[in-house]
Amino acid sequence: MSSKPTSLDLERAASGAAQGLPALLAEASSLAQSVAAGAHGRRRAGTGESFWQYRDYTFGDPATAIDWRLSARPPARLYVR
C-alpha cells in the first residue's frame, strides 16, 4: 500500500514539470507569429497577386493606387498596391 503524496511532493512534481514551459511558450509564440504572417512566412516584395503588397480594390481607394498592369489580367479584378 503506497502513501498519499504530500503537498510538498506535489509542489516539487509541479515545479519539475513547469521547468520546460518557458521554452515551450517561446516556441509556441514563434510558431504563432509565422502562421499569422501567412503562407509566405516573411513579407518580401515580389510580383503577382499572390504577394502581400496587392489587395483587392475597395471603394474609396484612389485610382492612382490601382496597379493597372496586374488588373488587366484575367480575371477582371482591380488590384491596389
Mean residue pLDDT across the chain:
75
- Rounded to the nearest angstrom, the gap between the alpha carbon of residue 24 and the centroid of all alpha carbons in its chain is 17
Cβ(40)–Cβ(51) below 8 Å: yes
User: Averaged over 40-54, what is the pLDDT?
Assistant: 56
Q: Measured between alpha carbons, how far is 33 from 23 in angstroms, rounded to an integer?
A: 16
pLDDT of residue 49: 47
Its pTM stands at: 0.35
Confidence of residue 39 (pLDDT cuts 50, 70, 90): low
